[in-house]
């Protein structure tokens, strides 16, 4: 029980109750009994709670209500009983709603279970006692009868939503007993309709909102339902998924070509919001889809999920231009998920024999721009190449424009001139198919505040600062997922410099594992930063420059700990209450990270898990959570102090000998020191000039295969085949960050060999090594990834390897250590790349 302001609320949901509890405070204002096992509500079930105003009994097993179930609830305003088993004909006793005269909201929808066939006439219960009812949710069954339901008495009824539907015939007399006061009708999931009559909605003379969602009657018949509303004003007409492919027929085909005849009723209506989404539209006649008597009425238009083009021919282009100029009050235009045509189509020239030119290349028609009023041709400096400038004049009050997942051929090189963009605030071009990012000009000022650029390769625009800067200069929020930002940053991309006033930035799913320290130098206003689903092994130091940061999301990365510098910075944010999300990372609970585990439960930083129970891997490979590690801190880390003192003692002894014989050491090892310095210098020079890799092979293996790798595989590679091999246990420097050492070693190796054994799946660093190998392979820096499997079964192979299996060369090692295994490995290393 909780008190909100002066109103008591009782939350009794999901408690397994089979009846209404009678021991609650009798003055409660709201009672939630959802997700219990109540089957019957008897008389006087709520008599004790006379002040109850909100009652929710959703998702129970209710199938019967006694006549006096709601006796005493004279103050009840909202009642919800959806998702139960209440049969409309048998579950409601006569007079059931006579005790709730103040009810304004009633939801008895989604009660059509499979046992309710409704094959005969269905009498709806009596609603006439609820004179104040404004909103009604119910199911629309087949063969409904409303003449004894008293609905015509409800003069205040404004909204009717049919949550589910088994209606088969939309007849003119279906709703004849409905009150004319209804202004909003929502009809969902009518999948069996066979007959549609034009005056089906005629009783709703004052209708303002009509939504048909999942009503499988075909777009042409849905538009016929607008017959009673000709030359009227409406707020919203929403048709979603009214045409489906599995009901395709000659009369009502799934591929819809909109005609003037189909649009004749809609064209006369002055409507604010028009949604024709997922309706199978592939084409339209001139004077149909884009022609209306009152285009100035439109405030929102949504054509999402269709398959038609607006620039197919000169006549449609001109019609679209006229449409844009006349929709002077349009605020939102959505033309997303429109797969018109793929570009760069591969015709399979090896198999196509017809229409070949002398060079054997298949000929196909290219897009022409002649006489196109949207296009101005400019000759580029390159011979025989044109840069096309498209002039787009937006409706003067347009605020949101969405072209997400738009699939159509685009010109190889175009520029855009956008006019009348002074009110545009929201632009979504995510996953727009393009291989060239245009230079964009604005005729006047613009104030675009939000942009979604997800799915568009950052390399296409990141290095064109001068050409695209104006597009990004006012953005306060941006979504840039899956733009290959990790690779772009390594190529010198400074994308954050394009966003000087950004406040909310989402760069998740970009395979980033590194950020320059000065990455956010110019982003002082950034408050919300989402970098989840990347490859960071630690929190980037760059975030410490964000003085106004309030929310940092690093979920589902490879972070194992938080270093001392970041910990101090996080503590300094108090009392500003920075929120840090770290779920999906597996931390390391070892002696090296014990200070981090202790800090986690003393800091005042807010985490996504209030209990701070993050996954945590012990030194033996087992996984617990950080809450358990903190509770059993002494048992898990008591041995760390003894190791520390041992290390201190050894260090003092070593320091003594180093100080005692410095001259002898320098003289004895002067040539090795000189060679070491030369080798270091040579590595730096070779890396800077990118002349060659330091290693031929990087070896990855689990602890149970260490003996065979060191004693058999390493001598064969280094001594017999004269290859330079990197082995972490041997070649990594003491004190160096292991994640950085692995990343550097793989980037400086020509090939990577993974030896899979029974313990491989539990190997702590194997996932990171696989991720780095995949990155270097995608960047074309790594030549081959070779996987050697011995006695290990397929279950030992980590899931991360399965994701890149197409890039892997597999070598199955024989049990008898024969020469066949070595010969196979040698061929894999020396064979030509495919």
- Which residues lie across from 377 on neighbouring strands? 388
Amino acid 443: pLDDT: 86
Amino acid 645: pLDDT: 61
Please answer whether residues 154 and 103 qualify as being in contact, where contact means their C-beta atoms are separated by less than 8 angstroms: no
Name residue, tokens 């235009």: 333
CA distances from 727 to 574, 742, 749, 750, 811 (A): 44, 10, 11, 14, 20
Report whether pLDDT(210) > 80.
Answer: yes
Coarse DSSP helix, strand, coil percentages of the chain, rounded to the nearest 5 percent:
25, 20, 55
What is the DSSP secondary structure assignment for residue 521, as one 8-state letter? Answer: T
Amino acid 365: pLDDT: 36
Amino acid 692: pLDDT: 62
Please answer whether residues 470 and 447 qualify as being in contact, where contact means their C-beta atoms are separated by less than 8 angstroms: no
How many other β-carbons are positioned within 10 Å of the β-carbon of residue 233? 12
Amino acid 3: pLDDT: 52
CA 135 vs. chain centroid, Å, equals 33
Report whether pLDDT(142) > 70.
Answer: yes
CA 390/CA 17 separation, integer angstroms: 65
Amino acid 354: pLDDT: 44
Among 74-88, 171-185, 698-712, the least confident range: 698-712
Closest by alpha carbon to 425, among 404, 441, 402? Answer: 402
Please answer whether residues 38 and 15 qualify as being in contact, where contact means their C-beta atoms are separated by less than 8 angstroms: no
Amino acid 777: pLDDT: 81
User: Model confidence at 376, in pLDDT bands (50, 70, 90)?
Assistant: very low
Closest by alpha carbon to 198, among 273, 265, 277? Answer: 265
Amino acid 357: pLDDT: 44
DSSP line for 285-346: -TTTTT--S-GGG-SEEE-TT----S-SSHHHHHHHHHHHHH-TT--EEE--SEE---SS--
Residues 758-761: contacts with CB within 8 Å, 24+ apart? 758/702, 758/704, 758/791, 758/792, 758/796, 759/702, 759/703, 759/704, 759/705, 760/701, 760/702, 760/792, 760/796, 760/797, 760/798, 761/795, 761/796, 761/797, 761/798
Closest by alpha carbon to 578, among 604, 612, 611? Answer: 604
Amino acid 564: pLDDT: 95
Contacts of 270 (CB under 8 A, 6+ apart): 232, 233, 234, 293, 294, 297
Structure-token pair, residue 724: 């330079």
CA distances from 751 to 730, 747, 829 (A): 18, 10, 8
Over range 749-768, report the average pLDDT: 84
Over range 775-796, report the average pLDDT: 79
What is the DSSP secondary structure assignment for residue 541, as one 8-state letter? Answer: G
Name residue, tokens 């009652």: 55
Domains and CATH numbers, the chain: 695-830 (3.40.50.10140)
Report whether pLDDT(372) > 80.
Answer: no
User: Model confidence at 369, in pLDDT bands (50, 70, 90)?
Assistant: very low
Please answer whether residues 302 and 279 qualify as being in contact, where contact means their C-beta atoms are separated by less than 8 angstroms: no
Amino acid 812: pLDDT: 84
User: Model confidence at 2, in pLDDT bands (50, 70, 90)?
Assistant: low
Closest by alpha carbon to 62, among 107, 100, 24, 11? Answer: 107
Residue 187: helix, strand or coil by DSSP?
Answer: strand
The beta strand positions in 105-232, using DSSP E, are 105-107, 122-123, 135-140, 144-145, 159-165, 169-170, 184-188, 195-196, 209-213
Length of the chain in terms of residues written: 834
Sign of the alpha-carbon torsion through 565, 566, 571, 573: positive
DSSP line for 244-295: -GGG--SSS-SSEEE-TTTTTTGGG-EEEEEEEESS-EEEE-TTTTT--S-G
User: Model confidence at 196, in pLDDT bands (50, 70, 90)?
Assistant: very high
CA 287/CA 294 separation, integer angstroms: 14
Phi, psi of 213 (to 5 degrees): -125, 120
- Which residues lie across from 136 on neighbouring strands? 106, 160
Phi, psi of 220 (to 5 degrees): -65, -40
CA atoms lying within 13 Å on the CB side of residue 533: 10
User: Model confidence at 381, in pLDDT bands (50, 70, 90)?
Assistant: very low
What would the 3-class secondary structure string for 410-479 be? Answer: CCCCEEEEEECCCCCCEEECCCCCCCCCCEEEEECCCCCCEEECCCCCHHHCCCCHHHHHHHHCCCCEEE
CA 670/CA 664 separation, integer angstroms: 10
Summarised one tens digit per residue, pLDDT across range 547-564 is 999 999 999 999 999 999
Amino acid 463: pLDDT: 78
Structure-token pair, residue 706: 């260490």
- Which residues lie across from 624 on neighbouring strands? 616
Per the omega criterion (within 30 degrees of 0), is the bond before 306 cis?
Answer: no
Summarised one tens digit per residue, pLDDT across range 67-126 is 999 999 999 999 999 999 999 988 999 899 999 999 999 999 999 754 456 678 999 999
Over range 694-716, report the average pLDDT: 88
Buried b (16+ CB within 10 A) or exposed e, 424-448: bbbbbbbbbbbeebbbbebeeebeb
Amino acid 392: pLDDT: 86
Over range 56-60, report the average pLDDT: 97
Residue 750: helix, strand or coil by DSSP?
Answer: strand
CA 738/CA 309 separation, integer angstroms: 54
Amino acid 133: pLDDT: 98
Phi, psi of 68 (to 5 degrees): -105, 30
User: Model confidence at 1, in pLDDT bands (50, 70, 90)?
Assistant: low
Tell me the average pLDDT of the chain. 86
Amino acid 23: pLDDT: 94
User: Model confidence at 178, in pLDDT bands (50, 70, 90)?
Assistant: very high
Summarised one tens digit per residue, pLDDT across range 681-692 is 545 544 543 446
Beta strand 450-452 pairing with 233-240: unpaired
Among 116-125, 506-515, 694-703, the least confident range: 116-125
Over range 702-722, report the average pLDDT: 87
Summarised one tens digit per residue, pLDDT across range 406-440 is 887 665 577 888 899 999 999 999 998 887 888 88
Among 300-309, 408-417, 752-761, 795-804, the least confident range: 408-417
User: Model confidence at 658, in pLDDT bands (50, 70, 90)?
Assistant: confident
Beta strand 615-618 pairing with 623-625: antiparallel
The secondary structure element, H or E, covering residue 772 is helix 766-778
Amino acid 670: pLDDT: 65
How many other β-carbons are positioned within 10 Å of the β-carbon of residue 548? 12
């Amino acid at each position: 029980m909780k008190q909100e302001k002066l109103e008591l609320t009782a939350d009794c949901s999901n408690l397994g109750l089979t009846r209404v509890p009678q021991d609650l405070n009798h003055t409660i204002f709201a009672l939630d009994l959802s997700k219990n096992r109540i089957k019957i509500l008897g008389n006087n079930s709520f008599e004790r709670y006379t002040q109850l105003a909100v009652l929710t009994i959703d998702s129970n097993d209710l199938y019967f209500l006694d006549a006096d179930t709601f006796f005493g609830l004279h103050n009840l305003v909202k009642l919800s009983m959806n998702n139960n088993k209440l049969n409309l004909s048998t579950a409601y006793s006569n007079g059931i709603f006579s005790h709730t005269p103040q009810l304004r909201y009633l939801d008895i929808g989604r009660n059509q279970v499979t046992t309710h066939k409704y094959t005969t006439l269905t009498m709806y219960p009596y609603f006439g006692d609820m004179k104040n009812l404004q909103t009604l949710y119910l199911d629309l069954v087949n063969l409904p009868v409303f003449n004894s339901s008293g609905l015509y008495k409800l003069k205040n009824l404004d909204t009717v939503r049919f949550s589910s539907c088994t209606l088969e015939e939309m007849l003119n007399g279906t709703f004849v007993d409905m009150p004319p006061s209804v202004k909003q009708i929502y009809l969902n999931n009518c999948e069996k309709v066979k007959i549609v009559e034009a005056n089906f909605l005629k009783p709703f003379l004052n209708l303002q909102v009509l939504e048909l969602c999942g009503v499988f009657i075909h777009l042409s018949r849905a538009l016929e339902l607008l017959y009673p509303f000709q030359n009227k004003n409406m707020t919203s007409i929403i048709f979603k998924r009214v045409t489906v492919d599995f009901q395709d027929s000659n009369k009502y085909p799934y591929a819809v070509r909109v005609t003037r005849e189909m649009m004749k009723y809609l064209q006369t209506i002055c409507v604010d919001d028009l949604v024709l989404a997922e309706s199978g539209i592939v084409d339209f006649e001139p004077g149909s889809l884009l022609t209306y008597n009152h285009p100035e009425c439109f405030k929102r238009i949504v054509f999402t999920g269709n398959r038609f083009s607006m620039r197919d021919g000169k006549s449609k282009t001109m019609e679209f231009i006229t449409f844009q100029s006349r929709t002077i009050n349009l605020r939102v235009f959505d033309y997303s998920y429109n797969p018109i045509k793929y570009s760069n189509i591969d015709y399979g020239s090896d198999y196509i024999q017809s229409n070949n030119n002398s060079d054997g290349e298949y000929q196909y028609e290219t897009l022409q721009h002649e006489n196109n009023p949207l296009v101005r041709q400019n000759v580029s400096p390159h011979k025989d190449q044109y840069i096309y400038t498209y002039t787009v004049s937006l409706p003067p009050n347009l605020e949101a424009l969405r072209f997400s997942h738009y699939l159509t051929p685009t010109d190889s090189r175009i520029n855009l001139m956008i006019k009348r963009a002074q009110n545009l605030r929201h632009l979504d071009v995510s996953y727009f198919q393009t291989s060239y990012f245009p230079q964009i000009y604005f005729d006047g000022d613009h104030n675009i505040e939000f942009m979604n650029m997800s799915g568009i390769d950052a390399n296409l625009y990141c290095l064109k600062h001068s050409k695209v800067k104006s597009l990004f200069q006012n953005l306060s929020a941006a979504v840039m997922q899956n733009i290959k930002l990790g690779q772009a940053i390594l190529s010198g991309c400074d994308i954050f410099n394009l966003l000087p006033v950004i406040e909310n930035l989402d760069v998740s799913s970009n395979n980033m594992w590194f950020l320059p320290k000065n990455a956010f130098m110019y982003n002082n206003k950034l408050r919300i930063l989402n970098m989840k689903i990347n490859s960071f092994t630690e929190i980037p130091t760059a975030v410490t420059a964000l003085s106004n940061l309030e929310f940092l999301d690093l979920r589902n990365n490879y972070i194992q700990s938080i270093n001392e510098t970041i910990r101090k910075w996080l503590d300094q944010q108090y009392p500003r209450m920075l929120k840090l999300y770290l779920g999906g990372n597996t931390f390391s609970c070892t002696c090296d990270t014990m200070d981090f585990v202790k800090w986690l439960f003393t800091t005042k930083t807010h985490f996504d898990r209030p209990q701070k129970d993050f996954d945590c891997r012990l030194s033996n490979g087992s996984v617990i959570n950080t809450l358990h590690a903190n509770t059993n801190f002494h048992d898990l880390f008591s041995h760390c102090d003894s190791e520390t003192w041992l290390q201190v003692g050894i260090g003092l002894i070593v320091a003594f000998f180093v100080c005692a014989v410095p001259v002898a050491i320098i003289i004895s090892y002067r040539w090795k020191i000189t060679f070491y310095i030369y080798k270091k210098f040579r590595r730096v020079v070779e890396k800077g000039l990118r002349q060659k890799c330091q290693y031929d092979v990087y070896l990855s293996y689990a602890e149970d295969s260490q003996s065979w790798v060191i004693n058999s595989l390493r001598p064969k590679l280094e001594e017999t085949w004269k290859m330079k091999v990197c082995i972490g246990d041997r070649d990594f420097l003491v004190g160096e960050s292991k994640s950085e050492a692995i990343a550097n070693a793989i980037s400086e190796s020509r090939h990577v060999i993974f030896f899979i054994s029974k313990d491989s799946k539990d190997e702590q660093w194997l996932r990171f090594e696989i991720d780095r190998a995949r990155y270097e392979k995608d960047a074309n820096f790594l030549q081959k990834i070779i996987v050697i499997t011995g006695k290990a079964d397929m279950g030992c192979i980590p899931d991360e390897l399965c994701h890149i299996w197409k890039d892997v060369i597999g070598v199955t090692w024989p049990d008898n250590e024969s020469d066949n295994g070595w010969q196979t490995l040698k061929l894999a290393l020396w064979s030509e790349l495919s």
